[in-house]
Structure 1
């Protein structure tokens, strides 16, 4: 299989950034950039372009028609070619790294990942908790791809087997997994096994629980603490618990149109709610926790496609076959406004006939218009067209990567390479960050402040990657490079090279071996150091898990109140009091999505 990149990819990255930044530039170093990926309906290719500078393009040859998914916070794009038994991957070239009060954005050209996954009829893709899961419908298994390895251009997958091949999915839930289950044989009139429910399993597919009934289960999404899936009888919800996944069926209410079901669900990110289809002309807003669980919205014509706004979860958007785009008020459960945006596209005919698809790109809705050979830009507030982009062929499936962040300029003019660069990060009150605060300012913190996938920096110390950091510290202080490195050799030392935190489950990895524990908040302790400054340990106690998982974990990240950590020092062991006395060994973790040069940059900024 060939991956071919065409276009002006050889331009200097700094020039590319200046062009890309035209969409929005809030101040000298703040950039908003959205990159659009379009799969053709007929030709085996994906076309990519920056929304603000669409003449700059990249083309990736594939094997067949693509269904595109933006995954891992937009850092990667998955191209599923179901009819050709292959899944290919593209690094979007846009990475966002959160620092609590702002995000940094790194921009490079998109690039194809050389390795692909092959297998019988790949279909559903789930992106959750650092895992990208692809169901192979005719193979009876799911391939689990590690998201942070994918951003490094590596495809390392684990196979989760199902009892039999069927059109289903598998998903991580807390410290376990769930997978769809199919009947032993097709029911009369069906050509394939009938999907009957969802079952808790281990990562290798070994069952750990009974089947939760969900007839015809299809469509899945995550929002807040919930996974939800559509069934003939209602919506099945799943939550993590110390004893494994817990399911609950929300039956469709009697006042909704009978005989219809939900087969596609979208999950909001900034509030706990789902938007799903319900029959050909309906949508349903699903609140998994509070009644009323369902609010039905009738559309004037059959639905072609719909999307949720990730930036403002109050609104969703649906395109109907008459060419009208509708804004959905999710909170009120009604149509807010509507406007004509394209010629009609009938829903009669084959499900895969070329029809428009929509995706969100900041303040714009981007919509493919296959018959016109266009991608249309539509204002999400006014529902008015603000531009069109000609795309060769029949533009069909669409995915978007990008967002807003700060780009830190360098003396050499390279606006993308973070290595060797100092930048001022705001960590709130600088006195607090330095360890000077009042007791009254200290607040309890949830484990969610530390959620994510984290890598130890100790290997970077050992291989010399962090040597520029010691030199930088020596230039600003009174200690030598050798003295500083020796201190951090003791401080960073650990054999736990990776930690993942999902909900209340913390997994410690030594190589490929993981040790899991479920942890609950166990208060905080304020420590006073020799030089007079202070710090706070936020402490969590194990309530359940592997024997090898520590009884206590204590976080220190220079923060004293709820805020998302951008790195942290972690202390662990079975003696709570003894841990509080440990001040020389403080294993340190940064997001696994960060590359080595970016970590060097972060450290030099502190």
Structure 2
């Protein structure tokens, strides 16, 4: 993390204390106390601070100088910077873009006004190409491999060109009212930009199209802050001065839900007065409430209040830092921190792009598996239900009733070996061979999605199901740790089943180990 301290002329690097180690089939997470790394970038009036491709760039308005430092240097606590100068002090911005640097061009006729364009320079500082015009330049963001700058006339859209960055101008649509964006945020998972547009509007921008690239969204009152959701790409959030948090459906281009969180915060007064700010931390949306000295927690799935955290002073800006993985104690026995590492948290929660899905072989589910339904019935899973109730919106009994429907099955064991699948009912097996029949993508009520990997019977016992469909929160080849299985003779009808999902864990796990696994999810 970085703390930009404008009055002190200083940008300070802070180590979060969180580090990761990828072990292929799982990830380890180590959590220590945060500390200063020792990296400091000094200069007059630091303003815009930008990260791109592992390079951090701080622009110092009082000097018109950009200072660039690598992520590697910061992690080592070094302060070795590359300096790139512009022609004059300005309220500017710079972005390290591969082997080039994009620099704001000062308004030489009116030095106190905003920059007027973008100059591209190479590693030696030599200008490449013409200056790209961008009057009243203010606002920068990246989404995927696209970088954008906000101008009075539209956006400058930057992509990797042949040997140098390619810059194109995307003009505001004629259908938009007078106005401009001065703050941009880049979408995660979906490629778009979210920008302000006047005091009580925001605009969704698709940088990949030339017509209808801008969609305006009217807000009920003036805007205080906005943020995108890095975990659920479909959503973004806007807080307005009436104390409401609004959930934006980026795909539909409209406000999907609104939630009253605080007393009103007027936008009248100094621009830097403490007002609410938004951060997304895993399954929670967090909103600061400076006047009340608290953080409001909102459940991202249900968009309902999920608690408060009292803090000293006036919490203002907020940054969420974290991740998931396994924590190992000194004795070597692992414990779970926050949640299991599932390769990709977004995918595990059902947020992914179609191109990420890959065909999977039956070998991903090979092994001897036991149903967890008997453990629910005999009370073994009661601690799991109680644990869910502690952080969820239902009681332990309500969760138990929900999983009673979900886990219900009379197939107590499944054995998968090669293309052979054995179903054990009352200890007696049904066996058949299965071949891949593709996959289907399902969209659920809360907006996330799942993939069913489908296999069709090729031969075997007549009573064995014609189709089996696996769902295990994974969308590409990877061995399953547990799975939900649907089976029957009607492929389409099975895809409609979303309430009963018999669930299987390795038969080698004890009841206690299964409870531990479930509570870690």
Q: Report the TM-score when normalising by structure 2.
A: 0.62
In structure 2, what is the Cα distance between the partners aligned to 1:123 and 1:100?
Answer: 40
In structure 2, what is the Cα distance between the partners aligned to 1:222 and 1:280?
Answer: 23
1:469-488 matches, cutoff 5 A: none
Provide the residue aligned with 1:221 in structure 2. Answer: 141
Is 2:195 the counterpart of 1:271? no
Provide the residue aligned with 2:207 in structure 1. Answer: 288
Shift of 1:224: 1.7
8 Å contact from structure 2 (residues 327, 334) kept in 1: no
Provide the residue aligned with 1:121 in structure 2. Answer: 45
Provide the residue aligned with 2:6 in structure 1. Answer: 82
1:148-187 matches, cutoff 5 A: 148-186=72-110
For the residue of structure 2 that corresponds to 1:353, the secondary structure is coil
1:309-458 matches, cutoff 5 A: 309-411=229-331
Segments of 5+ residues of structure 1 without an aligned counterpart are: 1-76, 417-422, 427-439, 442-561, 565-606
Q: Which stretches of structure 1, 4 residues or more, deviate above 6 A after TM superposition? A: 413-416
Q: Report the TM-score when normalising by structure 1.
A: 0.54
Is 2:15 the counterpart of 1:91? yes
Is 2:172 the counterpart of 1:252? yes
Segments of 5+ residues of structure 2 without an aligned counterpart are: 345-358, 361-475, 479-521
In structure 1, what is the Cα distance between the partners aligned to 2:27 and 2:151?
Answer: 38
Distance 1:360 1:98, change over 3 A: farther
8 Å contact from structure 1 (residues 91, 112) kept in 2: yes
8 Å contact from structure 1 (residues 175, 240) kept in 2: no
Shift of 1:303: 0.5
Shift of 1:383: 3.0
In structure 1, what is the Cα distance between the partners aligned to 2:323 and 2:277?
Answer: 20
Provide the residue aligned with 2:428 in structure 1. Answer: none
In structure 2, what is the Cα distance between the partners aligned to 1:277 and 1:204?
Answer: 36
Shift of 1:173: 2.3
8 Å contact from structure 1 (residues 329, 336) kept in 2: yes
8 Å contact from structure 1 (residues 173, 239) kept in 2: no
8 Å contact from structure 1 (residues 162, 205) kept in 2: no
Shift of 1:206: 3.0
Distance 1:97 1:177, change over 3 A: farther
Distance 1:415 1:109, change over 3 A: farther
8 Å contact from structure 2 (residues 102, 119) kept in 1: yes
Is 2:166 the counterpart of 1:242? no
Deviations 1:168-197 (A, max 9, x none): 1111223322111012131xxxx7044111
Provide the residue aligned with 1:568 in structure 2. Answer: none
Q: Which protein shows a greater Rg?
A: 2
Distance 1:163 1:249, change over 3 A: same
